[in-house]
Amino acid sequence: MKHRSVTFGIRRVFAAATVVALLGTSANAEGPTFAVRAKGYVDPDGEVVRNVTLLVEDGKIKKIGKRVRAPKDWIVLNRSGEYLAPGLVEIHSAVGAMRRTGEAANSIEAGADAADLFNQYHHDFDRAARAGITTIVLAPSSAHLVGGVTAVVKTGGSDHENRVVSPGPLKLSLTAQAFAQERVPTSLQGALATLRDMIATARANKDDASPFAHWARGETAAIVDVEDAATLRILARFAREHSLKCIALHANEAADRIEDAQSLGMPVILGTYEFHDPFRYTRVPGLLEKAGVAVAFTSEPPRYAPELLRVGAAIAMSEGMSRKAALAGMTSVPAGIVGLSNRIGSIEVGKDADFIVMDGDPLRLSSRVEEVFIGGERVFDWKAESERSASGVR
């Protein structure tokens, strides 16, 4: 019974979204087209610009600013008490995954694609959207030395078929989890020896156009789970040795390994942060920022609550990170990691109309996500949801 009612609830959310989509569609454009008047918006530098109007045409941002006027026949949403913030980007998750996120038999699954492993109708996408996350990167599990290619997915929108936006970077793991299995390699030294061989093979064969070969030749970056400080240093040396681009994941222990994170020359992914985390973890984002290393946060849904993405950025800020960098860690930095800076990560003309309506600063944890728009489609409406639950209908 419970399962049925949940499904029904999701249908209601989608139905609401579709209504908005229909209302917002003007005669000559295909996607949602409308204007939003807001009390302010968070600009690409993280500053709040007051009293703005946002024009969305065909699911893209057409204009944003103080002196922008909506064309006459357009629907105008009046949000003059609220703020607009860019949709958040979750860089490492397994939302919608159907059971395991990797084949158990082999440690190397360079051909695996996370786009094949998830259910785009899964209710965890709605949960992520509710937390303000509009784009999510699905990653193969860290139980594999080479897990496969990640997939960049929007968390909502009526067009389920086109939810996968693009393939993301390759995912690797050097954690103990990847080795404590009944298969080779069984150790970190075995893993790096295997990678050395694979890299040499990929470099010898210039025609190899697989994602692994591109990474092996230093053309693309890969996300590498490092788990702890010692592994981060080992990765830094390995990356130097082979001129590889590596984005260290879970570098939370990097407090006394800042120079290693720096030497990778790439952004670093930190998380999942919770309130009980020790100071030596929570001060890492601020230290990395000072050292000129870009930081992206992750909340790793569905294992942890997607709301922890904002919590992580807020904790980092309270321990010394700048507001701009904390916001970028949930928006533009992860957007850059997946190579979609031209489409997502900020409210700018020409980008996808992925934004959230909040009743306050997104970095204040008391601020509520009131509405979430993806490609101009409203996928979450807090008022409608709370009214439904008040009436007992789910």
Which positions lie near another protein, rule CB under 8 A? 176, 182-193, 197, 229-230, 233-234, 237-238, 256-257, 259-260
| Residue closer to another protein (CB basis): 89 or 202 | 202
Instruction: Please state the closest distance from residue 280 (CB atom) to another protein, in A.
Output: 13
| Residue closer to another protein (CB basis): 11 or 237 | 237
| 56, HSE (Cβ side, Cα atoms, 13 Å) | 29
Instruction: Please state the closest distance from residue 317 (CB atom) to another protein, in A.
Output: 27
Q: Are 97 and 117 in contact (CB under 8 A)?
A: yes
| Residue closer to another protein (CB basis): 228 or 274 | 228
Instruction: Please state the closest distance from residue 192 (CB atom) to another protein, in A.
Output: 4
Q: Kindly compute the dihedral angle of the four CA atoms of residues 115, 117, 120, 121, in this order, to the nearest 10 degrees.
A: 180
| Residue closer to another protein (CB basis): 190 or 360 | 190
| Residue closer to another protein (CB basis): 153 or 172 | 172
Residue 297 buriedness (CB in 10 A; 0-12 / 13-18 / 19+)? buried
| Count of beta carbons in the 10 Å neighbourhood of residue 291 | 12
**Residues for the chain: how many in total?**
394
| Count of beta carbons in the 10 Å neighbourhood of residue 16 | 17
| Residue closer to another protein (CB basis): 87 or 185 | 185
Instruction: Please state the closest distance from residue 231 (CB atom) to another protein, in A.
Output: 8
State how far the Cα of 394 lies from the Cα of 385, in Å rounded to an integer.
Answer: 9
Phi, psi (rounded to 5 degrees) for 83? -110, 150
Instruction: Please state the closest distance from residue 244 (CB atom) to another protein, in A.
Output: 14
Instruction: Please state the closest distance from residue 195 (CB atom) to another protein, in A.
Output: 9
State how far the Cα of 96 lies from the Cα of 210, in Å rounded to an integer.
Answer: 26
